Structure 1
Amino acid sequence: MRNLSILSAIRPAKATSGKLPQAQPAVPGAAYDVCQVGVVLRAVLFVEAMLAVLALFWAGGLAEWLGLLAMLTGGALPATLLWLVALCGLRRRMPAWRPVWQQAAGAGLGAVAGLYGCGMLRLTGAVGNAPWLASTLAGVMFALVAMAWLALRARSHMPADTAARLEDLQSRIRPHFLFNTLNSAIALVREEPAKAETLLEDLSELFRQALADPRESVTLADEIGLAERYLAIEQVRFGERLQVRWDLDIAAGSARVPPLLLQPLVENAVKHGVEPNPQGGRLRVRTERRGSRVVIEVTNTLAPLVWADRPVPRGHGIALANVRDRLRLLHDVQAQFRAGPDQGHYRVRIDIPAPAGG
């Protein structure tokens, strides 16, 4: 018999605090990761908006405004992209630097980018007398403003991530699920002790993951393993009423996802698609890597009540909103989340970036 200890598998918080583990503070340099597509798009749009307003001061009409905006964009856009690329290249080194050196590096790169943009305008003949000093100061100001925004963005994500984590913890360890699991284990102890042991091991692993120290991300393969344990527990309770199908792509297993992402989705599928239906239901989990993207789908049949004339009892959507928010925190605009009825089924589809070089 394998060693089994539910209590030892759960790592409690320190006795001096009496609270749940707290999220670790963000590494200062990690806030300045500008390699995400969403950050690049926001930076470019911000610069274009500022240029559009600036051009209004000198433009006498629409045609003149468009021409002036195009000229300014020819210098500012390459400079902005240069700054973003340079800062992206330093993303692995900056966390080891002191905050003042991180900001100095960003400002220095901003000065270089400003000079580069001015040089582009001078080289193309767009301007006669190149405003070198003004361009340098503009680059520094843009860098400082952008880095301040990135720092505020990282700080705002931390409490949101912690709150989502706590909400997830409260919804994952529900009393009725715990009681049902323990009752199932008690019923199996005498007749099928090996099955009861496996059931308790799965429950122990679920608790260990739920109470573990918060992490930014885990692999999709880890999440699949946790969901398999959860469904194995529910399989004991529902028996043949719960039919599970796994269509897993090994190449997608290394994708990064927020912790406890998949388990609430399969739990929702069981709660709303299998439990209310006397005949049970089917649940399908599919993963697939498509080039630079990874697709995750959780599909379940709908209970007959969904097609009746009576109002359909619905959940509050907390779990789905939680998943959507945490995906946005991790992958920003590169993550896509869709959920809703689809031809007699309820389908949740997630698209996330595939790991580079995987």
Structure 2
Amino acid sequence: MPAMAAAPTSAHPAAPHVAGAAAGPGEGRLWGVYAGLCLLSWLLYAVAGGEAQRGDWRWLEGAYEATWNLGPPMVLGLAGLPWARWLAARRAGPLAAFGWHVLGALLFVAGWQLLDFAGAWFFFGIEHAQATFEQRVLWRAAWGVFIYVALVLGFGGALAARSAHRAALAAARAEAALVRAELAAISGKLNPHFLFNTLNSLLMLTRRDAAAAEQTLLRFSRMMRYVLETHRGAADRVTLQEELDFVRDYLELEALRLGERLRVDWQVDPALLNEPIPPLTLQPLVENCIVHGIAPQRAGGTVRIEALRVPAQGGNEAHLALRVADDGAGCTWPPPPGTVPRSGVGLSALRRRFELDFGGRARLAVQSAPGAGFRVEILIPCSELHA
């Protein structure tokens, strides 16, 4: 019964379910791979062990050799996944892990020797068992260590890959949940001060001009409807026209408070009005301009709103550029460490939204300096607009 070097090929990840080994989600596939590799190893060993003499293949002898030599390590290999899972759960240091692996290799080798000795004793008697043990003890020990290493690497690598995948998926879901929560905070509120001021302005307007008050209430109701209708996921879209209409209604209501102090410069390409964009993209930026740039100045100022198509730098792909700027006092940007930046309503959430929503291809850039106003530009690749 010569021993062949094909035995190590049986030691790869995965095998049929064994009693006592808790099979988690996806482990059935792992066991299936192990069973397939065991079967392939057995077939290859059987073919190699069946010597070709005079055109006749000694299939029975080859099958016998394959079963006798590969059977014990294949059976012991069923403990590879539970063992690898147990070691991973211990989170031992390098020295302790090495010690556990030495112990595991010794147990694997001893188990193989014991199964082979018991089988030889049962079928052929104690003398044959002792003779074959002495003949094979060294090579079986060497191959046992090799197979143990293959089992640990295979099963351990599969568990580590699955754990890394789960961690990455959990991190992505947590990031998405955080962004959705931040967006919900934006879409679930208009600035309370804005609502308070608007209601006060409406009260005064009803005493002076009932018709104007009615039109203002219609604008206010349209804004509330837009906010409620866009209280969706981060991947939803509205047309640029719808977002601009919402911004116009917002600016009309702010004009009740600021009057001629609020001036607006619109630079919008009409060809882009049907382009889809995430809801509540421009209004938070316009609100920041009014709160931080226009309202603090006695003379007021101008909010500039642009929507145009621009060529991409270093490529052929065009971008939709959305820009909102004011001519207020501005600030140092990026802010020095330890200072509170002028982030206003939703600027950080908008940055995170575009990083997540467009797979890192969109850009949100801020430009500001003392006395130079505040400007935010959003660039969305045109190929992403209808994705």
Name the SS of the counterpart of 2:360 in structure 1. Answer: helix
Q: Quick check: 1:255–1:354 contact (8 Å CA) kept in 2?
A: no
1:301 CA displacement: 0.9
Q: Which runs of 5+ in 2 are unaligned?
A: 1-24, 30-157, 312-317, 333-338
Paired letter, 1:346: F
State how far apart, in whole Å, the 1-side matches of 2:305 and 2:186 are.
20
Q: Find the partner of 1:350 among 378, 381, 384.
A: 378
Letter in 2 for 1:187: M
Q: In 2 relative to 1, CA 297–226 (structure 1 residues): closer, same or farther, beyond 3 Å?
A: same
- Inter-partner Cα distance in structure 2 for 1:193 and 1:185: 10
* Higher-RCO chain (CA-CA 8 Å, sequence separation at least 6): 1
Pair 1:184 & 2:211 matched: no
Aligned partner of 2:111 in structure 1 is none
Measured after TM superposition, the shift of residue 325 of structure 1 is 0.8
> Which residue of structure 2 lines up, in the alignment, with residue 107 of structure 1?
none
Q: Give the aligned partner of residue 286 of structure 2.
A: 266
**Deviation (angstroms), 1:182:** 0.9
Query: How big is the shift at 1:183?
Result: 1.1
Say which of 305, 320, 327 aligns to 1:285.
305
Q: Does 1:227 align with 2:247?
A: yes
Out of 275, 291, 307, the position equivalent to 2:295 is: 275
1:217 aligns with 2:221: no
Is residue 301–residue 345 contact of structure 1 (8 Å, CA) maintained in 2?
yes
TM-score (norm 1): 0.52
Q: CA deviation at 1:147?
A: 8.3
4+ aligned runs moved over 3 Å, structure 1? 143-154, 303-306, 312-318, 355-358
Contact 1:257 1:327 in 2 (8 A): no
The reply on whether 1:255 has 2:275 as its aligned counterpart is: yes
**Residue correspondence of structure 1 range 100-179 to structure 2 within 5 A:** 152=170, 155-169=173-187, 172-179=189-196
Aligned to 2:72: none
Q: 2:261 corresponds to which letter in structure 1?
A: R
Deviation at 1:148, TM superposition (A): 6.5
The Cα of 1:167 is off from its aligned counterpart by 2.5
Change (3 A) 1:184 1:154: same
* Counterpart pick for 1:299 among 307, 325, 336: 325
CA distance in 1, matches of 2:266, 2:164: 44
1:336 lines up with 2:363 in the alignment: yes
Q: SS at 1:190's partner residue?
A: helix
Displacement of 1:319 after TM fit? 2.0
User: Taking every aligned residue pair, what percent have the same amino acid on both sides?
Assistant: 32
CA contact (8 A) 1:298 1:347 kept: yes
| Structure with greater Cα Rg | 2
Over the aligned positions, Cα root-mean-square deviation in angstroms equals: 3.9
Q: Which amino acid aligns with 1:217?
A: D
Q: Report the alpha carbon displacement of residue 340 of structure 1 after superposing the two structures with TM.
A: 2.6
Q: Secondary structure at the match of 2:232?
A: coil
Any unmatched runs of 5+ in structure 1?
1-99, 105-140, 307-311
Aligned to 2:36: none
Distance 2:184 2:201 in 1: 27
Aligned equivalent of 1:74: none
Deviation of 1:188 after TM superposition, in Å, equals: 1.3
